[in-house]
Structure 1
Amino acid sequence: MDYKRLGDYIREVNVRNKDLKVTNLEGVSISKQFIPSIANTIGTDMSTYKVVNPGQFAYGPVTSRNGDKVSIALYKGDRDAIISQAYTVFEVVDSEKMSSEYLMMWFQRPEFDRYARFHSHGSAREIFDWDELCDVYLPLPDIARQREIVEEYETLSRRIRLNEQMIEKLEATAQALYRKMFVDGIDKENLPEGWRMGTLGNLAEIKNGKAIVPSGGDIPVYGGNGIIGYTSRSNAEDVVVIGRVGINCGSLYLHQSKCYVNDNAMIAIPKNGNTIFLYRTMKEMDLNCQSEGSGQPLLTQSIIYKQECLIPKLEQRIKFEEQMEIVYKQKSLKEKENSKLTELQSLLLAKMGQ
């Protein structure tokens, strides 16, 4: 396959928001998506911001602060947006020679990020500038084949999005039933017979995870922010995983089969086998706000143990668990399917360079 110089197919766009007509302020994440900006713009001259039209790209040339990722994305919104003047905006010159979606797929490859970091330069900040971007070479089949490749990728993406929507609905169903049974209309001063107030220490045993280097296998390895890889051994089964350190500490993951939990997370083991009930009870708490430390937020076993919670009769907990079993079984199937679909997407991206 012929490799072509990217600079021969793209051009920079520099349109400013001089008339202040565009108010939709966006940014670009390291996950290569446009996201609504949370920057404080009070007193900022928005007329200097750059306008991005649907179908155009934007990227941040600074790579030294991005965890080896290039912030670059194709804007797919249905109205114009504005973006900081620190970004470079560009577009494909001829859509009959290069598909914008095909180009975005190339940017999503880990190999592109490694290339960009290697070719970045500077002292205080390392920059992957416009000239370097233009000197990228990529395989460019005919436009029909490009569109076929994009369609293959988008078919997988659509399935992933549908599964994510179903997962959200299943979680909402579980939350609604939990709140109906154990929150709404419950007076803590006049609890039903057999119910009492207690702490998470009454419901679960908490353990710290152990360090591991993922080495391949089919057992997921959990860190503080979810699954980080796979291994062939486990140190937990049918548990709630709790993020222990970092800005997202307190994040919760229900895992009802074997897994390995590393030292950035904790393991909550239910004392009566009601793992789903334990998970939903903890989801009602804002554990992140209970963390200690300023530079590096941290949750400890003692903090988790002392969290106050309602403890219904065991029969009620078992009833809830039985009703939720099918919900979380479906959720688990959708999550596993998305994991496989994401693997297929990665394979498709890898094949682009062959």
Structure 2
Amino acid sequence: MSNNYPLKRLCDVGVSLLDCEHKTPKPNVSGYPYIAIPDIQNGRLDLTNVRRISKEDYLKWTKKIKPQAGDIILTRRARVGDTAVVPEGLECAIGQNLVLLRSDGKQLSQKYLRWVLRSPQYWVQVEKYLNRGAVFDSLNCREIPLFEIPIPPMKIQQKIAAILSSLDDKIEINTRMNKVLEEIARALFHRWFVEFEFPNDEGKPYKSSGGRMIASEMGEIPEGWRVGNLRDLVTFSYGKPLKENDRLGGPYPVFGSNGIVGWHNEWLVEGPGIIVGRKGNPGIITWSPYNFYPIDTTFYVVPLSKDYGLHYLYSMLEKLQLSHLSADSAVPGLNREAAMSEQIIIPQKNVVKIFEMIADILYSLVKTQDEEKRDLRTIRDRLLQELLDGEIIA
């Protein structure tokens, strides 16, 4: 713990807590992001699967509290105490069990606040004020402003924020690069297996170069391809339940329907692998390059043939958008038999083999960038503590 900087309560250094609307708007096909707990990952916002709301609802939900760039979003339930920063240019509303923290800037830099709320000192405060519940743990809005954090002089706050932000910028560059690589893989899949413009024997696009097409119940498909069902290529196996306390620590990611929900010291499935959301966020497809533990809100994919590799199957499942098969209930779920019966076009093995080789290169680069990100996060988090201890900046 810090010995060099005084501990002060958030409410005493000009930090305001802004509470959310305690109700949820209807989802919309397009519109403004409505930030929920699953959209906060590793200290950042991930808007990949964010709910969208109409302009009318956006105006209602931001009348009381309108997020602005630099605000800290804090989770009060589920993954209690996780935080993320509202980036420049994002117009959004925040959902239930989230609050905003905003400094007036007189004693506490907003950029420093971002980092101190990732520190060990902060997590001590979370544990101190945590309300243990039968279903969910939670933080009380009245108690969060009582959190005590180390407060160095403003110039040192700014230096700490600048050093840590430079590392975080590199992490963000890697994240963006990975999105580009993944989009290349998706575009290639669409070009080859949806538009049927895979290379023919002369290396030219098959369909537009006069490749023979045959009729099928799913429309015209290349000669030698066929129509089948998802069960011809894969099966879905059920994830296993895991006690809440078992999700802490360890090198193996624990996957729920919203992605990584924790870490464990044991794995259930040898990676790489594909996870399919079963409950809560049904049909969402996630890729894990590592050994992993899928919990009971998910399926994991078991290929039935080595001729149809995981990269092809991942792209194919993404394209299928299985979420349309979810049952209409209080907790939507993906029916495995309905998914297995989904009609698909099954390409010739030689085309899949070439795609798999290219995709493997792309996803190997993604994995390398991910590993670098993990190393950078470790360096950043260790440096954070040393900076707060006053061991580097005087």
What's the TM-score bracket when you normalise by the shorter of the two chains? Answer: 0.7 to 0.9
* Among 195, 212, 235, the residue aligned to 2:269: 235
Describe the SS at the equivalent of 1:284.
Answer: helix
Distance 2:317 2:129 in 1: 42
Distance 1:157 1:264 in 2: 32
**Cα 1:344–1:291 shift into 2, 3 Å:** farther
* Among 95, 104, 116, the residue aligned to 1:92: 104
Shift of residue 291, structure 1, vs aligned partner? 1.3
- The one-letter code sitting in structure 2 at the alignment partner of 1:290 is L
- The one-letter code sitting in structure 1 at the alignment partner of 2:263 is G
Asked whether 1:265 is paired with 2:311, we answer no
Shift of residue 167, structure 1, vs aligned partner? 1.1
Q: TM-score, normalised by structure 2?
A: 0.68
Shift of residue 261, structure 1, vs aligned partner? 2.5
Contact 1:209 1:261 in 2 (8 A): yes
Shift of residue 268, structure 1, vs aligned partner? 1.3
Shift of residue 267, structure 1, vs aligned partner? 1.8
Larger mean CA deviation between 254-263 and 163-172 belongs to: 254-263
Distance 2:279 2:189 in 1: 28
- The one-letter code sitting in structure 2 at the alignment partner of 1:309 is I
Asked whether 1:177 is paired with 2:188, we answer yes
Contact 1:218 1:230 in 2 (8 A): yes
Shift of residue 73, structure 1, vs aligned partner? 7.0
Asked whether 1:284 is paired with 2:314, we answer no
Of all paired residues, the percent bearing the same amino acid is 22
- The one-letter code sitting in structure 2 at the alignment partner of 1:230 is H
Deviations 1:15-36 (A, max 9, x none): xxxxxxxxxx997755487999
Distance 1:326 1:347 in 2: 32
Distance 1:142 1:299 in 2: 53
Distance 1:299 1:79 in 2: 32
1:59-78 equivalences in 2 (<5 Å) = 63=76, 66-67=77-78, 69=80, 77=88
Shift of residue 154, structure 1, vs aligned partner? 0.8
Shift of residue 200, structure 1, vs aligned partner? 1.1
**Cα 1:26–1:92 shift into 2, 3 Å:** farther
* Among 362, 368, 372, the residue aligned to 1:337: 372
How many pairs were matched up?
Answer: 330
- The one-letter code sitting in structure 1 at the alignment partner of 2:313 is L
Distance 2:58 2:9 in 1: 41
The equivalent residue for 1:200 is 230
Describe the SS at the equivalent of 2:56.
Answer: coil
Structure 2: unaligned runs, 5 residues or longer? 19-31, 133-137, 197-206, 208-212, 390-394
Shift of residue 4, structure 1, vs aligned partner? 2.8
Cα RMSD (Å): 4.2
* Among 107, 110, 126, the residue aligned to 2:117: 107
Deviations 1:167-225 (A, max 9, x none): 11111101111111111157644322220011111111321122343464433332322
Distance 1:83 1:218 in 2: 31
Contact 2:103 2:109 in 1 (8 A): no
**Cα 1:345–1:300 shift into 2, 3 Å:** farther
Deviations 1:308-341 (A, max 9, x none): 1110111111111112110011112222332333
Asked whether 1:299 is paired with 2:334, we answer yes
Distance 1:196 1:81 in 2: 45
* Among 348, 354, 379, the residue aligned to 1:313: 348
Q: TM-score, normalised by structure 1?
A: 0.75
- The one-letter code sitting in structure 2 at the alignment partner of 1:4 is K
The equivalent residue for 1:147 is 158
Deviations 1:73-104 (A, max 9, x none): 766546999999x988853252xx43221123
Deviations 1:34-59 (A, max 9, x none): 9998366379789965677766x577
Contact 1:224 1:243 in 2 (8 A): yes
Shift of residue 166, structure 1, vs aligned partner? 0.8
Shift of residue 138, structure 1, vs aligned partner? 1.9
Larger mean CA deviation between 300-309 and 213-222 belongs to: 213-222
Contact 1:28 1:72 in 2 (8 A): no
Contact 2:181 2:363 in 1 (8 A): yes
Describe the SS at the equivalent of 1:154.
Answer: helix
Distance 2:276 2:354 in 1: 25
Asked whether 1:128 is paired with 2:126, we answer no
Distance 1:143 1:352 in 2: 14
